[in-house]
Amino acid sequence: MEIKQFEDSGLSHYAYAITSESAREIILIDPARDISPYVAYAKEQQATIVGVIATHPHADFVSGHLELHQLTGATLYCSQLLGATYPHQTFDDGDEIVLGDLKLTAMNTPGHSPDSISILLTHQGSNKAVFTGDTLFIGDCGRPDLRENVGNLTAKREELARQMYHSLHDKLMLLEDEVLVYPAHGAGTLCGKSLGKEKQSTIGIEKINNWSLQEMSEAAFVHALNEGQPFIPKYFPYNVEVNKRGAANLVHTIAAVRRAPQGAMDENIMIVDTRPAAIFKSSHLPGSINLQNGGKFETWLGSIIAPAEPFYLVAESEEALDNVIARCSKIGYETFIENAFVFESGNANMEMIDIENFTNRPQDYTIVDIRNNNESDEQPVFENAWRIPLPELREKAMIIPQNKPIVVHCAGGYRSAAGSSLIKSAGNKAKVFDLGENIKKFIE
């Protein structure tokens, strides 16, 4: 038996391959959009991919399950509650998949979504591991507020939080302490609020360290789970629907992306410039936003640009352009690219802030804090700052006063590069400065 964990750090996503060495067969769980790593792994193992399990229709990434089925003939498994429109076999409480001396058993564990399942792995009669999807994380559990208006089944967050309580306390906690826990996400995901950095754990360790597994009433759990959840990116509902029907072939959709030299451009279409902030500030196209190719690019792209909204995509080289197109495809946004091109020249720039003057006279500036509300609450930096989280900034940019220069900050510089350029692109007449990494001088 071998368990292989695949990680996408940009999306804090984990996929899994479970190999029966005796049968030379592989089951995949929650694969990413790009199926090439799984195909390569199967070849390396000299094994056949015979099945793909979706623990639920993920909101934060597009899965390659349908393409895997089309390429390999693997059976697709999911809960009947998902309402999948792709060819599949239902996989619910007590259903089993046998691979040689391995057995995978479905457990319905609603809470993050009504159709969530976990998969218990048994080897030679002993429970070895449980793949918990977005139900149980390391140090946390899945948020219950993503399925109020989307999916085959919808449910209010309070109802799903109650279901989560029972999935955790009446099912997963009953497993043996030594059973390994393999979640679908790690720290940095927006599918939970306080995940640990570890990539795997055990039921016993989680009973001790995970707040959601501590003894408490159902009512107290529901309140705690719903409190302080992060924002919901614009693209989340779209990805649920894509995963419910299965995504189109990735090679074909990327080949269809228009890549033509910079030419006449529609001023009503957003320009997403993915170059490093320093290069962007020196020269860019008017109306551009600087969403750098790094960090959580996919998350911020899908938080600022709405599904089906066309956008131009700019990079500093052909290689970089290939990379950001691929990153767009992870959330199904490659089909919304109006044109992708390498930047040649622009007549816009952003001035660098006079940090000494700002430090001595912050009252002469309008300061905009674009961190998430929980960050601003926990660690205020500047008095009287306008607090507008980055996911809301595009819609609220023009309410910011224009009688003083505007200084934008986040916690480290990545988001403020996007936010400052977004305010400028919205047509604000004041000078706009990005505090960037200088924020570290003000955070205690």
306-334: average pLDDT: 98
* pLDDT recorded at residue 427: 86
| Total number of residues shown for the chain | 444
List domains and CATH numbers for the chain. 2-239 (3.60.15.10), 248-342 (3.40.250.10), 355-441 (3.40.250.10)
What b/e sequence results for 389-421 when a residue is b if at least 16 CB atoms lie within 10 Å of its CB, and e otherwise?
Answer: bbbebbeebeebeeeebbbbbbbebbbbbbbbb
Q: How confident is the model at residue 11 (pLDDT cuts 50, 70, 90)?
A: very high
Average pLDDT over the chain, rounded to an integer: 96
**What percent of the chain is modeled with pLDDT above 70?**
100
* pLDDT recorded at residue 347: 87
**Has residue 444 got a pLDDT over 80?**
no
Tens of pLDDT, residue by residue over 388-429, are 999 999 999 999 999 999 999 999 999 999 999 999 999 888
Query: How many whole angstroms separate alpha carbon 23 and alpha carbon 205?
Result: 32
What separation in angstroms does the CA of 56 have from each of 70, 79, 368?
A: 20, 8, 38
Q: Which of helix, strand or coil describes residue 98?
A: strand
Query: How many whole angstroms separate alpha carbon 192 and alpha carbon 209?
Result: 16
Tens of pLDDT, residue by residue over 101-157, are 999 999 999 999 999 999 999 998 999 999 999 999 999 999 999 998 888 888 899
Q: Which of helix, strand or coil describes residue 118?
A: strand
Structure letter (DSSP) for residue 114: T
172-189: average pLDDT: 97
CA terminus-to-terminus distance, the chain: 49
Query: Which of 311, 323, 321, 325 is CA-nearest to residue 341?
Result: 321
Q: How confident is the model at residue 295 (pLDDT cuts 50, 70, 90)?
A: confident
DSSP string, 375-413: HHHHS--STT-EE--HHHHHHHGGGS--SS-EEEE-SSS
**Has residue 333 got a pLDDT over 90?**
yes
Is 422 within 8 Å of 397 (Cβ atoms)?
A: yes
* pLDDT recorded at residue 149: 87
Structure letter (DSSP) for residue 351: P
* pLDDT recorded at residue 32: 98
pTM over 0.75, yes/no: yes
Query: Which of 1, 28, 42, 14 is CA-nearest to residue 128?
Result: 1
